[in-house]
Amino acid sequence: MITQIKGRLVEKNLTNVVIDCHGVGYYINISLNTHSQIGNSEELLLFTHLHIKEDSHTLYGFVTQNERSIFRLLISISGIGPSIARTMLSSMDPHEIQKSILGENLEAIKSIKGIGLKTAQRVLIELKDKVQKIEGFDENLQSKSNTIKEETLSALEVLGYSRRQTEKVIDNIIQSHPESSIEELIKSALNKL
């Protein structure tokens, strides 16, 4: 199995790159997340996953091992192939996917093109425990985020808003502004309710 490729960047597109490694040009499929992190430098190192089917061998490349780990977990789910996994990593960065799975944010997973309700539910059920074990994921950040969310929801309940009404709004705000304080979350939520 080809686990990484280091070489000279020959071609860079939104969905793929070509790397010249000792005279051999490797065509590697990438996500938009990886594309955004690749500079225009000559040398490039990508962690890869070789996907083998009867009629093709396809290389997928990732800037970080964390992104590759998420990709491998996603393709282990029935109904998610490499193309949909790459679309997921193009729609959300690996950390956002991990947070969505651990936070059981069904709407965030379901909002990705190609993911239906049943597949989104499978992702949450099957990957929750596995995602926590991936290196590079800060569990303290996740628990801090959950604490802030709970305190914000409680504060909004005191103000007379139902939990069901506010939870989706809070999830969306946390998704777009993960570093928000409780006060900022409450102010943003009140503007949207």
What does the angle CA 128 – CA 84 – CA 1 come to, to the nearest 5 degrees? 85
Structure tokens that stand for 31 in this block? 């996500």
Spatial separation of the C-alpha atoms in residues 26 and 156, rounded to whole Å: 53
pLDDT value of residue 136? 54
**DSSP H or E run through 59:** strand 57-62
Question: β-pairing, 16-21 with 4-12?
Answer: antiparallel
Per-residue pLDDT of the chain (193 residues), as tens digits, is 789 999 999 999 989 999 999 999 999 999 998 988 887 778 899 999 999 999 999 999 999 999 999 999 999 998 899 999 999 999 888 888 888 888 888 888 888 888 888 998 999 989 988 887 775 555 445 555 567 788 888 888 888 888 777 887 887 787 777 777 888 888 888 887 7
Look up the CATH number of domain 139-192: 1.10.8
Look up the CATH number of domain 66-132: 1.10.150.20
Give domain 4-62's CATH superfamily: Nucleic acid-binding proteins (2.40.50.140)
Whole-model pTM above 0.75? Answer: no
Query: Is residue 5 within 8 Å of residue 19, measured between CB atoms?
Result: yes
pLDDT value of residue 113? 87
Report the chain's terminal Cα–Cα distance, integer Å.
Answer: 52
Q: Residue ranges of the domains in the chain?
A: 4-62, 66-132, 139-192
